[in-house]
A and B are shown apart, each in its own frame.
Chain A
């Protein structure tokens, strides 16, 4: 399988994950593990690649998306809640995050499209026109 995009190892050391459960709230699914999913999904298709990154609680303007050579870098920060009080459950990750993706040669880095809505960043990178599959007409006399 031709891999168009490969994610570099994410910088997990920036993430804080604390979990405290108090008797005030009983979770129906108390065995929630917290998971290691950073909420990144890569979907290559015939015409390019779609990347989805979950960024709940991050203002779109606080996202930084940059292309450096053939590397796509996505970074941002989710600030921790400044609320004063007793934390009963604290499962959300906060802090800085960054993801880096190596883009294959057949992707058109100049045509990257990024949209952020409802806490999800969707990035679309089409293949370069000459790299897309083409139908070749068969002429017959």
Chain B
């Protein structure tokens, strides 16, 4: 796993971030993301979707290390962002990103004279 130094402006010491292993599965209804964040304190887990980037992050209880990873979504408009859900259990962050249902085809009535 690669590490990167990030200096947080709201903390005295820099946090060293590791890159978490993830699994991403897609079907017609949604995209499912699971990220391994072992040792992360649940109250530090962050999920953000912002301008086409999905970011997941969390910090360990020592406050010095954490996990962070960012993904660029090739088509952010296909997701129903209001209904993204996240669950953190046994060190795994599971995200459910539902897709916007396709527009219903319009039926055009035909008037026959």
Contact = CB atoms under 8 A, between A and B. Distances in A.
Interface in B72-95: 72-74, 90-92
Contact of B2 (A29, A60, A88): A29
Tier of interface size on chain A: 35 or more
Interface stretch (A1-9, A20-28, A99-107): A20-28
Main secondary structure of the interface of A (DSSP, over half): loop
B92 A27 contact: no
Given A27-B71, A81-B34, A92-B34, A118 B19 contact: no
Contacts of A33: 1-2
B39 to A, nearest CB: 4
Nearest to A118: B91
Contacts of B38: 39, 54-56, 118-120
Interface residues of B, number: 30
A56 B72 contact: no
Main secondary structure of the interface of B (DSSP, over half): strand
Interface string A50-91: 000011111110000000000000000000010111111111
Give the residue among B24, B32, B42, B72 with the most A Cβ atoms within 10 A.
B24
Interface string B56-83: 0000000000000111111000000000
A25 B25 CA distance: 11
B25 A119 contact: no
